[in-house]
Chain A
Amino acid sequence: MTWLRNCWNTSLRFRMGVILLIAFIVLAAIGPLIYGPLLRGEQFDINPAAPGNFKRWQTFSATHPLGTDGDGRDLLGAYLLGMATSLRIGLLSGFVATLIGTMVGFAAGYFGGPTDTGLTMLANILLIIPAYPILVVLVLYTPRITPEMMALILAAFSWPFAARTIRAQVLGLKERPYVDLARISGVSSLGIIVTELVPNLLPYLLVSLAFSTLGAMAAEVGLALIGLGPSNGISLGLLIFFSRGVFSLGRYDVLLIPPLILIAIFTAITLINLGMEEYLNPRLQNVTGR
């Protein structure tokens, strides 16, 4: 893991991104736990993000720090829960997509030949099918869809991106002398992949993870904007969808906060990605010129 420490030391972008992302994850993970009881007082079963629990359109106050919206949601609570759902969908979908992409990428790159031709062809076919209409129809026809199911559906269409990147890296790496040495020493293919290739490709796996997470979160917002989201929960995308009719009331905070939270999370992940790329591509660090 020395490369992670190096990344941290060399790149300001990487440090900023990691700190920002961890802050958001911590906020989303423990925010609702602390805020929920504070809001409930003596009533224990109130979900701040469920509609109809409070008076509509309250402005900022001690009981509702960010006010309530037109459906009677406590907005601070809704933002915290929405952030948690969006991050959960994004990260889970990113992990699954990277996992599938890694397995396919390694199989295609390492074994080559017909395996490679077949898998690359499959990935290319999935890449050119416009995913959005298919996602809409799948989400529309899945009854009682949970955030986890949404994440899996999104991952099913985003793994080819990861597979393509990983395959290219494996192709470059498998001709290295140390891989040949391991092969001559009688290490099995799986052994070589696990002990020699994966550790060296870890940075690239993390870059794919970041990209798939971003893609999944953006796709969730895209689906939520036409009203399709996890059925009994709240996400940042759904909060944007609910705030459609608000501009005439002058409550700009309701309109702006959810997209700004999303943009901040996207920025954090992009910063981490750029930091890692800077480290992986030494030519971006020191060049002659001005």
Chain B
Amino acid sequence: MQKYKRFLFYVLRKVATYLFTIWAAFTITFFLFRSLPGDPVSAWAGALQQRYAVNMAGGSEMVEAYRKQFGLDKSISEQYFSWMYNAIVHQKLGPSFVNFPRPVEELLAERIPWTVGLLSVSILLAWVIGLLLGALAGWLRNSWISSLLTNYAVVISQVPPYLVAVMLVLWLGYSWRILPTQGAWDAQYTKGFNLPFILSVLKHAILPSVSIILVSVAGWILSTRSLIVNILGEDYLIYAEAKGLPTSQLLLRYGLRNALLPQTTGLALSLGFIMSGQLLIETLFLYPGLGELLARAIGAFDFNTIMGCVMLSIVTVMTASLIIDLLLPLIDPRVRAVVS
């Protein structure tokens, strides 16, 4: 009984931390953005004035009306509480400015599938390839294959993916014109579940996802390699080898099996960061995902959309790490021993 009580206490503490962290991160970002000078409506009015030399004196009522619609006429603390109230009670994130008058939650819902589709496939592929290559590099640690893989990984692992993307766009997209470099599908196909559209979507996803995979594979190779190399020194592996088990079994059932737990945690965490999108890659390829929306929102200083994107990312990251925290005691007996 005591054991369950302690486990329940562990769960409650994790959930409380989860809620508190989300609230604190929201509060910090909210006040940081609002403490800066300017707001979307006056920035827009100013730009109009500058560009067309219009006299805004007569339009001040209109500007006021828009400010009211965005809630900008209220004090900052009032805006803070009403944002939280609307988000939690009504699941409403307010009107967007970049796509006025559509509500932010609608824009987010429209873009989530693109970002999730592109990034989850890229992250999963990179993880599987990286794990296998890393295991190979660790196992054959004195061969040329290992040094080739490791050296590639050393050079590429810290390079930001958008640098790779820029180069891929130049070669494959512009110079050789093999693959499309903009958008997520060709406009001539009707959106829906039909073969030409799906093929077009896949073709457009190749360049962005390859640039993400090339870089993140390198990171998984390095980490898996050092995990495997560590395991190679363990007594149980030497014993298993002495027993005469075939190499493939040693590698898969003893080596990879033990590297899997930390790597799965890592995978879950990077899947959690999906919702922050790949802002620069999506902007570069004009991919209609969350990152591209966020970039446009920042350009227009669109509070509501920025807060919507940021909160979506914060909540997903926290949820992923909460799930890991709650599952880990079930999977790993060592963690279970500490918890209960």
Q: Give the nearest-CB partner of A136 in chain B.
A: B298
Output the least CB separation between B64 and chain A (Å): 24
Q: For residue A280, give the distance in angstroms from its CB to the closest CB of chain B.
A: 12
Contact of B229 among A141, A214, A256, A283 (CB under 8 A): A283
* Residues of B contacting A277 in the complex (Cβ-Cβ under 8 angstroms): 226
Chain A residues lying within 8 Å of B188, measured Cβ to Cβ, are none
Q: With A and B bound together, what is the CA distance between A174 and B42 in angstroms?
A: 55
Can you list 7 A-B contacts (CB < 8 A)? A125-B21, A130-B310, A132-B276, A132-B279, A225-B162, A240-B163, A288-B232
List the B side residues contacting A121 at CB < 8 Å: 17, 20-21, 24
B280 within 8 A of A: yes
Interface residue ranges, A against B (CB under 8 Å): 13, 121, 124-126, 128-130, 132-134, 136-137, 140-141, 214, 218, 221-222, 225-226, 240, 247-248, 255-256, 259, 262-263, 266-267, 269-271, 274, 277, 281, 283-284, 287-290
Select one of B17, B232, B276 contacting A130, CB under 8 A: B276
B123 in the interface, Cβ–Cβ < 8 Å?
no
Known A-B contacts A225-B280, A262-B163, A289-B141; the reply to A129 vs B157 at CB < 8 A is no
**Per-residue A-contact encoding for B298-327, CB less than 8 Å = 1, 0 else:** 100100001001100110011000000000
Q: Which of A129, A132, A271, A288 contacts B233 (CB 8 A)?
A: A288
Contact (Cβ within 8 A) A287 B232 = yes
Partner of B166, one of A124, A226, A240: A240
B17, B154, B167 interface centre (most CB from chain A within 10 Å): B154
CB-defined contacts of A126 to chain B, threshold 8 Å? 28
Q: How large is the interface on B (under 10, 10 to 19, 20 to 34, 35 or more residues)?
A: 35 or more
B166 contacts A259, C-beta separation under 8 Å: yes
Chain B residue numbers with a CB within 8 Å of A136 are: 298
Residues from chain B with Cβ under 8 Å of A214 in the complex: 158
Identity of the chain A residue whose Cβ is nearest the Cβ of B279 in the assembled complex: A132
The answer, among B141, B154, B313, for a CB contact under 8 Å with A290, is B141
B33 at interface, CB cutoff 8 A: yes
Closest CB-CB distance, B220 to chain A, in whole Å? 15
Known: A137-B36, A287-B233. A129 touches B310 (CB 8 A): yes
* Interface mask (B143-185 → A, CB under 8 Å = 1, otherwise 0): 0000000000011011110110011001000110000000000
Could you say which residues of chain A place their CB within 8 Å of the CB of B158? 214, 218, 266-267, 269-270
Known contacts A129-B28, A259-B167; A284/B232 CB under 8 A: no
Are A133 and B170 in contact (CB-based, < 8 A)?
Answer: no
The CA of A4 and the CA of B97, in the complex, are separated in Å by 55
**Chain A residues within an 8 Å CB radius of B248:** none
Nearest CB in chain A to that of B276: its residue: A130
Contact check, A289 vs B233: say whether CB atoms are below 8 A apart: yes
User: Which listed residue, B170, B226, B280, B306, touches A247 by the CB 8 Å rule?
Assistant: B170
Min C-beta distance of A119 to chain B, whole Å: 13
Q: Does B295 contact A (CB under 8 A)?
A: yes
Q: How far is the CA of A126 from the CA of B25 in the complex (A)?
A: 7
Q: Is the CB of A133 within 8 A of B28?
A: no
Q: Bound complex: CA of A270 vs CA of B154, how far in Å?
A: 7
The reply to whether B166 and A137 contact each other, CB–CB distance below 8 Å, is no
Chain A: minimal CB distance from B252 (Å): 15
Contact of A283 among B33, B160, B166, B233 (CB under 8 A): B233
User: Pick the contact of B160 from A222, A267, A270 — CB < 8 Å?
Assistant: A222
The answer for the CA separation of A87 and B24 in the assembled complex, in Å, is 34
Contact A141 B155 (CB under 8 A): no
B213 at the interface (CB under 8 A from A): no
Which chain B positions have C-beta within 8 A of A13?
Answer: 154
A137-B36, A263-B159 known; A125-B232 Cβ under 8 A: no
Asked if B249 is an interface residue, CB under 8 A from chain A, the answer is no
